[in-house]
Structure formats: C-alpha cells, structure tokens
Amino acid sequence: MQMSCRLDIGTLENWLWEAACKIRGEIDAPKYKDYILPLIFLKRLSDVFVDEMKGMQDEYGNMKIAEDIAQQDHSVMRFYIPDVARWENISKRTTKLGETLTDAVRSIAKENPKLEGVINIVDFNATASGQRIIGEDSLKALIDVLGKYRLGLKDVEPDILGRAYEYLLRKFAEGSGQSAGEFYTPREVAILMSFILDPEPGESVYDPTCGSGGLLIKSYLRFRDKYHDNPSIAPLMFYGQEINHVTYAMSRMNAFLHDMEADIALGDTMNRPSFLNPDGSLQKFDKVTANPMWNQDFAKFTYENDAYNRFAYGYPPSSSADWGWIQHMAASLSDKGKMAVVLDTGAVSRGSGNQGANRERDIRKAFVEKDWVEAVILMPENLFYNTTAPGIIFVINKNKKHKGEIVLINAAKLFAKGRPKNYLTDESIKKVFDVYSEWKEEEGISKVIKNEDAIKNDYNLSPSRYVSQNGGEEVLPIEEAIVLLRESEEERIDADKKLKAILGKIGFDI
C-alpha cells in the first residue's frame, strides 16, 4: 500500500537503501542512481499530475471532464502524463516491465517536449552480451519499493530529487573510487551560498559547473522564501552548463520539478562555454554560483587559445585550474555582480611567501588590486562527499559595500559530528551569514582586513592565517601538498626545457 506522509531525511534514506538493494549485483554501485533517479522523477511527475487532476475535478465537478480537457489542451497543466506512464498503471504490470518503463518515459518526453533528453535517458530494456542489464524480477521489486510513498505536492520537500541524488552519491559512489569528478555540494553549504548571493527580482543566476542543479535550486528557494511567490515580483532567470550527460539530465529534471525558468546546456564550459552574446562574447550574469571540480588539470592550450579573453590576469598552472575557473566566472559576471564559489583551501594561499613568480599568487594579486575579493570562508573538515579536505567559499563582489576590505571567516569548528560526514547546523549557517552580512569581527571566528594587510602577507587569503583557533597550527592538507608537488614538477620540466634550449644554442646537445 502507498503511504502518504511527509518524508523526513531518515525515512528517505532508508527508502533509497531498500530500492538500491533490489538491483545490487546486476549493476555497479555508482550506476544505481542512473536507474533509481529517473524512476523517482517519473513517480514524482505521476503523483503531481494526479494531484493536479484532482484539483481540476474539484473545479469541473467530474474527473471525466477534467481528463478530456487535459488531454485536448496540455497547456492547462504544468505537464501532461499519458495513461501508459501513470504510476498506478505501471505498478500493476507483471510482465515486460523493461519495455513498459522505457515506453512510459518516451511517451512523457513526446507529450512534454521540455523533457526530451531528460526523462528518457535510460533504456530499462537494455541488454549486454545478450542478457538484460536489469532483469524483470529486479525491476518489479524496484517498482514496488519506489511505489511505497506518494511524492505529490504536499508529500515531499521540493528538492526530493536533489536529496535522493545526494544520498545515492554519498552512499554508493563515494567509496567506489569512480566518483572523483562528482562534487555534490552539501545542502547546508549550498544554503549558505544562497544567503550570501541573495538574488534579487529579475536577476540572472549562472552555474558553469551545475551538476544536478543543487546550487541553482537553493538560490531559487532562497528567492522564493524571501518574496513568497509574489506574482508581481520579476522572476529569476537561471543558466547552467554541465559536462556529464547523466548529471545534466538530472539538473534539467530538478529545474522542471521546481518550475524554474532555467536554460541548462550540455557541454565543456572551460573549452566551449555555451552562453554567448550574438557577437561571440561571454554572456554576463548578475550572480554566479559554483562548485567546480577542485584542482583540475587543463592543458595550456585551453588558456593560451581562449577566444573569450577570460584569462587576462594570468594562466593558472596545469596542477590546478582553480584560478582558471575563478577567472571564467569573473568574466561571466556583470559589472555590479557577485559570485560565490567552493574551492580547495589552497586556492587562496598557494604561492604566497615563495621567492620569485608564482602564477596563482599573481592572479590573486590582480583580484585584490581590483578590489573584487569580498570574503573567504573556511569550511570544516570532512564536510564534502568525496574528500575530507575542508574547502572554502570564495566570494567575489564587483560592487563591494566595504571598499578596500575583506572579511575572513574561520568556520572550521562550526560543525556537528555526523556519520560518515560532518555537517553545518542551522545555527552555524546563521552565525557565518551574520558575521558576513554584518561585517563584524568575532574572536576565533572572523577578521576584517584591509587590502594592504593582504599585500603584506603576500596575498595569502587563508582565514586560518588571520583567525587562530586555540593557537592551532595551520597544517597543510594532503590534497594541497599533492598540488604543490605537481606544480614543482611542472616547474622542473619547464626549467629543463629552457636549459636544453640554451645549451643547444651554444653547441651542447643533451
């Protein structure tokens, strides 16, 4: 029997665990989400459609009339679910389930063009080496489990898909070693970022590495909570780009479920940005939010042959693309725009104190000199799903209220212990946001520095350098040590090439 109750996080996770167990052994654990999430999306669409049909029945006094109107004019509803794709009918089937599910998602895409390439990304009838990837018995068991709970408008929180994705990634992908590129931003970090960005009516919000759309959705929910769905308020416009086609589909599913005005593009943002003006220049946005993969390795070609003038302040080393991403986002930001990006802690400190030139420090220097750096917030350790490193929220504001100043916040100890990951409590989120918005110093938490202070410290913007906690000594995280090692190796190779060229000119061949 289908239960109608609001799913709390514990119930949700137990439900997803039970669902995943039904297909264990037939596919690899990191692939569980690729099958479970589209079915949750299908279930959610079906249940919301049923809710809306009941509303039309109340309006017209007869379900048959409501059905006829909806079938003849799909525009009277948010979306239309054909009879073959309604969960009630799917759940009754006992044979040809792979074919039934595949036909169901394809029929929804046909009736709702916005969902083409979104809901119909999985062939539930697919085979490998002549055998079904997921057998009939497993599919039936999966359908039965996912049918336990209603996912209608009043049954679950709006971000049900994002929460499900978060759990499945953490539970099954994290430990497999196959999810290094999947940085799902913890819910509480995304909420904090949405408060910092605080989008206003009519603004545009952009995420160049949008993943499943979580950061865009949190900005939307912040806006909606603030303005209470006031129809006279100009809506936000959302833009995102994602390189992974499965995650891209999830992002579009999420945007669809939230009724967001969102343009989500599939592709490689760093090499082929999708959002361009008619003259070929980068489109500008009011707010930018992102959690790009940390310390990526892009070839020099990406920076040297850039057609969009994104890297005017310097090319980052191949050991870490953090400052490549920051420059792309800054170039995509309007003249009075603000951005918040999650990065490895080393992005704000690497190279400072070194003798001679350092590419990351030199780019930081340019951003400080332009007075764009507004805040750096150090996160607690063991917060993110596929790393124990703490991470930072780096805030750029081209229209700073406090000119010539930067607030540095050390939130390293503002966490609650969780299993397997730590998390920020609501009180911690409020504490950090209050310090940021009120621009205040608090012992052991925050420090407001002048740009001149950053210059004196060779553009080291690490909060732990300025805000000590119990006299703790700053320890170099292993991830940052690896980046520094790669950077040193890159410098050695470059030096060898230059030496070889010089020796070659004077007749020595080595």
Residue 138 has pLDDT above 90, yes or no: yes
Contacts of 429 (CB under 8 A, 6+ apart): 188, 191, 192, 195
Distance CA 276, CA 261 (A): 18
CATH of domain 9-176: 1.20.1260.30
Residue 479 has pLDDT above 70, yes or no: no
Q: What is the model's pLDDT at position 171?
A: 77
Residue 499 has pLDDT above 80, yes or no: no
Average pLDDT, the chain: 88
Residue 486 has pLDDT above 90, yes or no: no
pLDDT higher at 295 or 407: 407
Candidates 90, 91, 88, 118; CA nearest to 106 is 118
Q: State pLDDT tens for residues 53-74.
A: 999 999 999 999 999 999 999 8
pLDDT higher at 286 or 153: 286
Confidence of residue 384 (pLDDT cuts 50, 70, 90): confident
pLDDT higher at 230 or 339: 339
Contact 7, 15 (CB under 8 A): yes
Question: What tokens does 102 get?
Answer: 């595949």
Q: What is the model's pLDDT at position 190?
A: 94
Quick one: angle between helices 136-146 and 9-21, nearest 10?
170
Distance CA 327, CA 320 (A): 13
Q: What is the model's pLDDT at position 488?
A: 62
Contacts of 61 (CB under 8 A, 6+ apart): none
CA 128 to each of CA 20, 441, 503: distance values in angstroms, whole numbers, following the listed order: 20, 61, 57
Rounded average pLDDT over 350-367: 89
Residue indicated by tokens 């989008």: 199
Q: Tell me the range of 135-139, 193-197, 228-232 where mean pLDDT is highest.
A: 193-197
Q: State pLDDT tens for residues 285-324.
A: 999 999 999 888 898 899 999 999 999 999 999 889 999 9
Least confident of 9-18, 143-152, 465-474: 465-474
pLDDT higher at 429 or 163: 429
- 3-state secondary structure labels for all residues of 187-206: HHHHHHHHHHHCCCCCCEEE
Share of the chain above pLDDT 90, in %: 63
Q: What is the model's pLDDT at position 157?
A: 77
Least confident of 167-176, 215-224, 427-436: 167-176
Rounded average pLDDT over 145-168: 84
Distance CA 104, CA 93 (A): 12
Quick one: angle between helices 187-197 and 160-168, nearest 10?
130
Question: What tokens does 472 get?
Answer: 């703790």
Cα Rg, the chain, nearest whole Å: 25
Sign of CA dihedral 417, 419, 425, 428: positive
Rounded average pLDDT over 496-501: 73
- 397 three-class SS: strand
Domains of the chain: which residue ranges? 9-176, 187-413+440-475
Q: State pLDDT tens for residues 78-122.
A: 899 999 999 999 999 999 999 999 999 999 999 999 899 889 988
Domain 9-176 matches domain 187-413+440-475 at the CATH topology level:
no
Q: What is the model's pLDDT at position 78?
A: 86
Residues counted in the chain: 510
For domain 187-413+440-475, the CATH class is alpha beta
Residue 17 has pLDDT above 60, yes or no: yes
Q: Tell me the range of 270-279, 355-364, 461-470, 496-505 where mean pLDDT is highest.
A: 270-279
Confidence of residue 181 (pLDDT cuts 50, 70, 90): very low
Residue 480 has pLDDT above 70, yes or no: no
Angle, vertex CA 412, rays to CA 409 and CA 414, nearest 5? 90
Q: State pLDDT tens for residues 214-232.
A: 899 999 999 999 998 787 8
